[in-house]
C-alpha cells in the first residue's frame, strides 16, 4: 500500500486566489454602491481578507482600482511580436483599447483616476514593462527604438485621457493614429 501523499498545487496558488477574491469583491461593491462608497476595509470584508493584505499588495484603493481595471491584461501574456516595433505597438494599443473600453473596466479606471495617487500603480508599471519588452526586441533586431516613457506619454496616456474625459472616441483605429504620432514626435530626437 502506498502511504505517501502527493500534494496538488492550485493553479496560481493562494496569492492568485486571494487577488481574484479581492478583485471580485471590488467589482461587486463598485457595481452595487458606486465608487464613492467603496473603501479598502469594505473590499477586505467582502473578500474575506485583511485590509493589510490589500494595502500590502496594492498600496491603496487607487492602486487596487487601476489594477483591477486592467487585471485581465495578464502581464505574462504573449505580447505582439510582428518583427516591427511600429506594428507591435499598434497591435498592443488595439489590445489596450479593446480591454479598457469595456464598460466595467472603464468605470474602474475612472474611479482610480479620481483618487489621489502619488506612486505608479501596478497597471502603469506593467505597461512600462510591456513597452520595454517590445522596445528591447526591436533594439535587438537593429530597429531605431524609443524609450518606454515615450510610449507611455504618447500612446497609453492619450488612450487613458480619452477614456477618462471623453475627449474623443476611443476605437481600435485610434491605435494607428497614436503610434504614427509617437513615431513623428520621436523622430527628430532619436533618429
Look-up: residue for cell 515615450?
Answer: 150
User: Which pLDDT belongs to residue 178?
Assistant: 96
User: Which pLDDT belongs to residue 119?
Assistant: 65
Q: Which residue intervals of the chain bear CATH 1.10.10.60?
A: 13-58
User: Which pLDDT belongs to residue 30?
Assistant: 84
CATH superfamily ID and name for 13-58: Homeodomain-like (1.10.10.60)
The predicted-structure confidence for 71-83, as pLDDT tens digits, reads as follows 666 666 789 999 9
| 74-173-157-143 Cα dihedral, nearest 10 degrees | 80
User: Which pLDDT belongs to residue 117?
Assistant: 60
Between CA 135 and CA 104 the distance in angstroms is 30
Amino acid at each position: 500500500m502506498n502511504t505517501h501523499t502527493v500534494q496538488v498545487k492550485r493553479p496560481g496558488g493562494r496569492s492568485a486566489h486571494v487577488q481574484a477574491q479581492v478583485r471580485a469583491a471590488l467589482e461587486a461593491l463598485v457595481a452595487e454602491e458606486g465608487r464613492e462608497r467603496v473603501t479598502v476595509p469594505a473590499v477586505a470584508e467582502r473578500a474575506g481578507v485583511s485590509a493589510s493584505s490589500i494595502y500590502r499588495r496594492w498600496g491603496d484603493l487607487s492602486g487596487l482600482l487601476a489594477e483591477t481595471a486592467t487585471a485581465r491584461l495578464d502581464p505574462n501574456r504573449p505580447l505582439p511580436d510582428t518583427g516591427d516595433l511600429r506594428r507591435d505597438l499598434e497591435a498592443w494599443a488595439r489590445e489596450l483599447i479593446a480591454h479598457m473600453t469595456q464598460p466595467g473596466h472603464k468605470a474602474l479606471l475612472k474611479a482610480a483616476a479620481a483618487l489621489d495617487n502619488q506612486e505608479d500603480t501596478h497597471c502603469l508599471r506593467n505597461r512600462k514593462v510591456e513597452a520595454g519588452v517590445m522596445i528591447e526586441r526591436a533594439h535587438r533586431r537593429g530597429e531605431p527604438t524609443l524609450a518606454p516613457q515615450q510610449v507611455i506619454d504618447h500612446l497609453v496616456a492619450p488612450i487613458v485621457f480619452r477614456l477618462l474625459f471623453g475627449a474623443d472616441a476611443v476605437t481600435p483605429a485610434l491605435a494607428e493614429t497614436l503610434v504614427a504620432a509617437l513615431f513623428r514626435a520621436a523622430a527628430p530626437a532619436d533618429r
